[in-house]
Structure 1
Amino acid sequence: MSQEEKRAFSRSFKLRAVKRMEAGESSGALSVELAVKRTLLYRWRDAVRQDGEKAFRRKSGRPSKTELLKREHGEEEASELA
């Protein structure tokens, strides 16, 4: 008996899959095409419905370089205004 390898899906992958579901594509067919369990597709859809644009964003841990740069840029603007 073999264990399934745990896959990590990008935020954009999840959002594209949800967008296709919302456009009316069959969740079963989408599940087969993307090799993702159908229940996972429904969880992603529910997350987007609940959190909107904030869905699938990191909640904790080390911030990305992009997030750090945005913070630094915002702090510089704030100090220039003072």
Structure 2
Amino acid sequence: MNNTQPNNPLHGITLEQLVTELQQHYGWDGLAARININCFKSDPSIKSSLKFLRRTPWAREQVEQLYIRFISQHRA
């Protein structure tokens, strides 16, 4: 395993894994309630969310921060 970022909780996790795991836990409504972006509110899908998040850095950062909080609460 590559340990160049041992303290980075996102190291080795793809955006698709991250969004999928959050969606399975919170559901689309739960994600939309936590992060107010249309890709979670209007006809949501993993594919459309990934497309939006890959070209919208501020939204991707919010999703990454939610994921970090999620894993710290559920994997501690």
- Structure possessing the higher relative contact order (Cα contacts under 8 Å, 6 or more residues apart): 2
- TM-score (normalised: structure 2): 0.28
Larger radius of gyration: 1
